[in-house]
């Protein structure tokens, strides 16, 4: 005890004293980087919701199971789409990247498509 052996290739190194502190800093740094991803995800959801409300809400209910306001529509509510078992992130990304009959031809960047997909899937919770 009291030491950490790291085996790399044919050689082994022993980390003691300040080396342990360095390892600890590396581990905490990695945790920080991974945690930053969850913050980015929250920003993606907010951006996806904003896009949905500005570009999709005329036809889709974007945050409830009711129809879009003032519009009896055949467009399904996003919460209904989110709860379909066959709907995956990949399916939504693909669907939103192509034009579909009866839908306006919006141009969305890949980031916007990804954000809207993430927002729709967040409605499962």
* pLDDT tens string 4-28: 444 444 444 455 556 666 666 565 4
As a whole number, the mean pLDDT across the chain is 75
User: Please, what are the domains in the chain?
Assistant: 4-122 (1.10.760.10)
Ranges 1-15, 57-71, 102-116, most confident? 102-116
Q: Which pLDDT band holds residue 34 (cuts at 50, 70, 90)?
A: very low
Q: How far apart are CA 36 and CA 34, in angstroms?
A: 5
Task: Read off the pLDDT of each residue in 108-113 and give the average, rounded to a whole number.
Answer: 94
Does an H or E element contain 5, and which?
strand 4-8
Task: Read off the pLDDT of each residue in 87-99 and give the average, rounded to a whole number.
Answer: 93
Has residue 115 got a pLDDT over 50?
yes
Selected residue with higher pLDDT from 20 and 97: 97
CA distances to 35, 45, 109 from 40, rounded to whole Å, are: 9, 9, 17
């Amino acid at each position: 005890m009291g030491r950490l052996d790291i085996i790399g290739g044919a050689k082994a190194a022993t980390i003691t004293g300040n080396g342990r502190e360095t390892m600890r800093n590396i581990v905490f740094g990695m945790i920080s980087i991974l945690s930053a991803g969850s913050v980015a995800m929250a920003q993606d959801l907010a951006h996806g919701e904003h896009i949905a409300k500005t570009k999709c809400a005329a036809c889709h209910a974007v945050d409830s199971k009711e129809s879009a306001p003032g519009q009896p529509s055949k467009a399904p509510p996003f919460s209904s789409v989110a709860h379909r078992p066959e709907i995956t992130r990949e399916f939504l990304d693909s669907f939103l990247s192509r034009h579909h009959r009866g839908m306006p031809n919006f141009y969305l960047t890949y980031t916007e498509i990804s954000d809207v997909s993430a927002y729709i899937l967040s409605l499962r919770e």
